[in-house]
Amino acid sequence: MLELYVWGPAFGLPSIDAECLGTIAYFTETLDETEYQLIQSSPSAVPTHHLPALHDPARNTWTSGFSAITAHIQSRNAQQQYRYSKKVQADSTAYKAFLTDQATPLISLSLYVSSANWAATTRPAYSKILPFPLPWTEPTAIRAAMSARAADLKLSSLDTDAEAEKAEAAAKADPSWVHVPESIKKSMAQRRKNAVREKLTPEERSRIRLEGVTAEVLDVLVGALASKEEDEKEVYGKEEDSDELPEETTTLEFRCLAFGYLALMLLPEVPRPWLREIMEAKYPGLCDFAREFAGGRYGILGTGHSTERKLPWAEVKNTKSEGLSTTARQGHTLSGVLTRYVQGLVRIIPLVGEEGSRWWTQRRAGAVRTPTTTESQALVAMRKANKDLVWMTTGGLSLAGITAGLFYLYQGLLPFGAPVQTWRAPVSIGLTGLGAAGAMFAGVDDHLI
């Protein structure tokens, strides 16, 4: 039985991540429920460090990423492979690349960069699907990564937290030496608030830019998904339900992936739903596609639809669950979760954490088998990683030692020319300490001893 590791359900969808969503859709389309299990996870729990990840216990191999997994499934069921013409295959390859390349930034803007949406929708969703201490480390990391994906669009103004921080830093760095007290500043700002601009949310302010960015992506997808209207009458569809299906001008993989991305654009209930508004206003075809895929025909969505399918979620927390390999449980036990949490913390340590976590992930990834590597290669990678561990520990320890030494050396330095100097009278013990009287008896103690 195959094990598919995915991000957990959110927004009424089976997964919070577009690629995972696409993979789940693909699995429900091609495989029987008894052939696979879905395991709610996060990247830090799987050795490939990327979700979706597929573990094939029969061959003990790991595959990760949407297209790698679909290719793996196709190689298992070879008869499904040649259903499409070359043109459809070539186009779909291109459109899939387009989705990962261009649609991710859009989702990232809507769900991650926008502070309001992040705080009200996305972060709570992550908190729900991650086991306890992990919501402290992982969602922020994901947000940082997703924001980096959207950085090219130059719409970071949606992130009001970062904007406020930036303004604060700018105010601090302001070299002017006329210091305006905070109270006056505030009243000035209040007066300025009357301007229309101040009343708009960042999303409304950059609405035109957002519409442009959205159109650039969705226009292409409309072309891809609506190409059935062109009179290409060749049918490559499946036999059983080709009467109601439009002519297959795209591959199933592409449609599943497109569903993953479009559903995340359309369905989450966010406080600033600019993306959904744009889609509903201008791209009704795409909305229909996503809704139909989710609710009607495929019944993935938990809408209580009659055709709704039950997804084979595995109960990971139940350690006695059958059919799960040990790797599946490894990352989800209490100790596993704690290890993941500590790793998340280690990453935040400046300088050292970066390299440390890089090394750690590579060590884990090197030790697993992918379909093309052999056991011996994995073993070699493991040994190399172990050697690295020795080097890293020695290096780290000596670095820490040197730093501590330098610190104490610095602390031990005399504060030259300290402003207060104290003189103390020499304290002498014995009879001489008693002054003249003592001197009188000075000879006595010699005799006493």
Partner 1 sequence: MSTKSVRSWMPPIPRPLERLFNSVPLLTYDANELPARAQSSTASDIPTLYVFSTEEDARKGLPSFNPKCLKWQTFLKLSKIPFNIIPSTNHASPTSQLPFLLPARKPSPTASKPPGGIEPIPSSKLEDWVLSQKQKDQASPEKQDEKFHPRQEAYQSLLDVPLRNSWLYTLYLDPTNSNLVEKLYIHPSSSSLWIRATLRHQLRRAAESAILTTTHSVSSGGPLKGFAHGVVHPDEIYRSAKEALEALAYELSIDNRGAEGNTGWFFGATEPGLFDAEVFAYVYLMVRFFSRPESAEGEKESGEEETKLWLGDLVRQAGNGELVGHMNRILELTWPDLVVRDA
Which parts of this chain interact with partner 1 (CB under 8 A)? Answer: 17-19, 43, 48-51, 64-65, 67-68, 71, 86-87, 89-91, 93-95, 97-98, 100-102, 104, 138, 140-142, 144-146, 148-149, 219-224, 344, 347-348, 350, 354, 357-358, 361-362, 365, 370-373, 410-411, 413-418
Rounded to the nearest whole angstrom, what is the least distance from the CB of residue 353 to partner 1 in the complex? 9
Q: Which is nearer to partner 1, 1 or 215 (CB)?
A: 215
> Pairing relation of β-strands 2-6 and 36-40?
parallel
Q: Which is nearer to partner 1, 100 or 201 (CB)?
A: 100
Rounded to the nearest whole angstrom, what is the least distance from the CB of residue 204 to partner 1 in the complex? 27
**Distance spanning both ends of the chain, measured CA to CA:** 96
Q: Which is nearer to partner 1, 68 or 125 (CB)?
A: 68
Rounded to the nearest whole angstrom, what is the least distance from the CB of residue 146 to partner 1 in the complex? 7
Q: Which is nearer to partner 1, 94 or 188 (CB)?
A: 94
Rounded to the nearest whole angstrom, what is the least distance from the CB of residue 28 to partner 1 in the complex? 21
**Contact call for residues 275 and 214 (beta carbons, < 8 A):** yes
Biggest distance spanned by C-alpha atoms of the chain: 129
Rounded to the nearest whole angstrom, what is the least distance from the CB of residue 141 to partner 1 in the complex? 3
CA distance 17 to 42: 11
CA distance 83 to 235: 10
Q: Which is nearer to partner 1, 149 or 205 (CB)?
A: 149
Q: Distance between alpha carbon 79 and the CA centroid of its chain, in Å?
A: 36
CA distance 91 to 89: 5
Rounded to the nearest whole angstrom, what is the least distance from the CB of residue 448 to partner 1 in the complex? 49
Rounded to the nearest whole angstrom, what is the least distance from the CB of residue 54 to partner 1 in the complex? 12
Report whether the peptide linkage leading into residue 52 is cis, meaning its omega lies within 30 degrees of zero. Answer: yes
Q: Which is nearer to partner 1, 98 or 236 (CB)?
A: 98
Q: Which is nearer to partner 1, 308 or 359 (CB)?
A: 359
Contacts by residues 6-9 (CB-CB < 8 Å, ≥ 24 positions apart) = 6/38, 6/39, 6/40, 6/41, 6/51, 6/52, 7/40, 7/41, 7/42, 7/51, 7/129, 8/40, 8/41, 8/128, 8/129, 8/130, 9/40, 9/129
CA distance 287 to 263: 8
User: What separation in angstroms does the CA of 430 have from each of 250, 423, 440, 445?
Assistant: 104, 21, 13, 9
